[in-house]
A = this chain, B = another copy of it.
Amino acid sequence: MYKRCQMKKKHTKNRHHNSTKKITSVDVARLAGVSQSTVSRAFGTGNELTEETKKKVLKAAMELKYRPNAIARSLTSQNTNIVGIVMANAKSPFYSKTLDEFTIKLQKLGKQTLLFSVEKGRDIDEILSHVLEYRVDGLVITSATISSEMAEECANIGTPVILFNRYATGTNVSAVCCDNVKGGRDVADYLLDRGYTQLAYIGGNPKSSTNIDRLKGFQERLQERGFSDLLIRNDEYSYESGYRIAKELILEGKKPEVIFCASDIVALGAMDAAKHEFNLKTPEEIAIVGFDDIEMASWPTYSLTTIQQPIEEMTEFAIDLLESKIKKMNTKCELKLFPGKLIKRGSA
């Protein structure tokens, strides 16, 4: 079937009022005396072309300061080399470290990170909608749960999603997590072994899977060993929250011997409250245990006993998993749990 013949006209006026001329592969081709396809080949990998032509092209490109347009490439090649990362708390120590790890590792694979921040109370689906418009090759979601409708949409559109430090039951989304239940149990064992009997738990967001599991493991193990008396408070993952709750507990006359906090940052708050509000010594008068092992936990001022999350291995694994999903090598959904490691320091 033949298409009607078309008359081609040149654009007459410059639509974009740009004073600087954009260099494209056509310009390079002209200068190098080759076809545009050849220029494209010279910049790809594993393409058949003479060393000589390649050199010729690269020289011309250099002269013109040509840089291939990744946007145009993405349109045809159907992959952007961009990974979207959605975070709700990007400025907290644990997550900023996580983000840094992801970014650096992805960069080494030639991939870029498109960052999205979910503010408290904002709808994550709306943000995901924007992420998907950019046709990211894959998506990492931390500290937020994805709705099952959205998960389905991602699957439809063919964008692999990985939850990091979270998991969602009922969706077909893979997740990479620390074994929070096990971490909670380990803390329980450690504390009971040290002879503590009056225990408290200060949690973060009570609806997050991390919080639920850390508490679950902790409480389960306590009960298995005959301790059912656990003081539990939840609020959010922050220093202020830890500070306030610890202060409240003590003011209410419920000072425990030891507090297990759902994250290090909460633990630091609790420790400071004990010290500065009541002048209590750690660990003699009140012991504190955290979770994450952020850098500050190892500072001598805090010397926080905590469960270390193997962030580097976790991010490494998450990226590998994402890559294999992008290449469709792996379609099954999995939940990968990494064991946390109890780091014994001075606070308990």
Contacts and interface: CB of A to CB of B under 8 A. Distances in A.
B301 A135 contact: no
Contact of A91 (B68, B74, B100, B296): B100
Given A272-B299, A301-B301, A135 B69 contact: yes
A278 B254 CA distance: 35
Q: Is the interface of A mostly helix, strand, loop or mixed?
A: mixed
Interface string A153-167: 100111000000000
A49 interface: no
A100 B100 CA distance: 13
A15 B65 CA distance: 32
A13 B158 CA distance: 19
A16 B328 CA distance: 11
A156 B263 CA distance: 48
Interface in A256-304: 268, 272, 275-276, 295-296, 299-302
B96 A91 contact: yes
Interface string A89-114: 01101001101100110010000111
Contact of A68 (B67, B114, B133, B156): B133
B117 A115 contact: no
A71 B67 contact: no
Given A1-B7, A5-B5, 16 more contacts: A3-B6, A16-B78, A65-B153, A65-B157, A67-B157, A70-B134, A70-B135, A71-B135, A90-B96, A91-B97, A93-B96, A103-B117, A107-B127, A112-B116, A272-B300, A272-B301
